[in-house]
Amino acid sequence: MHAAIFDLDGTLVDSYDAHYEAWRTISATHGVAVTVDDYYRHFGRRNEDLLRECWLRAGKGELTADEIHALDHEKEAAYRALVAHRFPIMDGARELVASLRTAGFRTAVGSSGPPANVALAIEGLALANAFDAVVTGRDVKRSKPDPECFLLAAERLSVPPERCVVFEDAPAGIAAAKAAGMRCIAITSKGHTVERQGEADIVFPTVKTVTVAAVRALLA
C-alpha cells in the first residue's frame, strides 16, 4: 500500500493571493505592515511566527498567547470570506486526487492550516469523500519544517513513511517531508519557485502535469 499526502495551500488550492490580501487587510487595521517578503518567507508555516515578527518590528511589543489567538482568528476569517464564494482550485487538482485513488493510493491532507480552512478547502474542491485522513494545524504541536504533520498523516493512514509521497510547494513543507523519510513532489506556485524547491525529489510546473506513473516511479 502506498499513500499520497497533500498540503493544500499552493498545491491543491491557489490561495497565495487571498492569504496575502487577508494579511495585508488585518495588519493595516492594527497599524502593522506585513510586506510581500514577510508573507513569502512564512508561507506554508503557522501564523504565530509571522505575527510575532511583524508586530514586534512595528513596536507593538511581544504578543501574548491570547493576542496571537485573536489575530490568527481574525486573519483566517478574512481569508475564508475572500474565497468562500469563488474558491481558487488548482487546475487538475480534483483529477489528480481521483486518479491516485483509482490507482490504489490511500490519500490524506497534511496541512498547517486551521480546521475551518481545511474543511472549506475540501468542500471547495468537492473532495469530501476523497481523503482517508486529514491533519490540520490543530492536530500538531510543531509546525513545518518539523515532520510531525506528515508523520501523523502516515500514522492515521497506517502506511509507513517510506511508502508515502508528499505534495508540497513551500520549502518548509518540502523539508518536513524529507525529515519524515518520505518522497516529495513539489508544485511550482506563485509563492515558491523551482530554485527554492531544490530539496524535492521532483518538481512539476503545475498540478495538471503530474501523472500517476511519475508518482509510482518515485516510490518504486
**Which of residues 24, 49, 83 is at a domain's end?**
83
User: Do residue 96 and residue 198 come from a single domain?
Assistant: yes
> Given 57, 83, 109, which residue is the final one in a domain?
83
The whole-number pLDDT of residue 190 equals: 66
Catalytic residue, chosen from 7, 14, 72, 169, is 7
Tell me, what's the pLDDT at 199?
86
pLDDT of residue 143: 84
Looking at the structure, tell me whether residues 110 and 28 fall in a common domain: no
Contact 21, 96 (CB under 8 A): no
Instruction: Examine the domain organization and report whether 176 and 202 are in the same domain.
Output: yes
CATH number at residue 98: 3.40.50.1000
- What's the burial of 80, exposed, middle or buried (CB within 10 Å: 0-12/13-18/19+)? middle
Full domain range(s) for residue 60: 16-83
Closest CA to 17 of 112, 94, 82: 82
Residue 9 appears among annotated catalytic residues: yes
Domain boundary among 83, 118, 133: 83
73, 112: one domain: no
pLDDT for the residue 66:
96
How far apart, in whole angstroms, are the C-alpha atoms of residue 133 and residue 156?
Answer: 6
In this predicted model, what pLDDT tens digit does every residue of 71-98 receive, in sequence order?
Answer: 999 999 999 999 987 889 999 999 999 9
* Residues 52 and 91 placed together within one structural domain of the fold: no
Number of CB atoms found within 10 A of residue 63's CB: 17
Question: Is 66 assigned a catalytic role?
Answer: no
Residues 22 and 76 in one domain: yes
Query: What are the pLDDT tens digits along the chain (220 aa)?
Result: 999 999 998 899 998 889 999 999 999 999 999 998 898 888 767 788 899 999 999 999 899 999 999 999 999 999 999 998 788 999 999 999 999 999 999 999 999 889 999 999 999 999 989 999 999 989 999 888 999 999 999 999 999 999 999 999 888 899 999 999 999 999 986 665 555 656 889 999 999 999 999 999 999 9
Instruction: For 174, list phi and psi in degrees, rounded to 5.
Output: -65, -45
Note whether 154 and 111 are same-domain residues.
yes
Query: pLDDT value at position 216?
Result: 96
Q: What is the reported pLDDT for 45?
A: 72
Q: What is the pLDDT of residue 195?
A: 52
Does residue 148 share a domain with residue 48?
A: no
Number of domains in the chain: 2
Neighbours of 120 (CB within 10 A): 20
Which grid cell is 127? 473532495
Whether residue 182 is found in the same domain as residue 125 = yes
77 plus 91 within the same structural domain: no
pTM: 0.87
**Whether residue 145 sits in one domain with residue 116:** yes
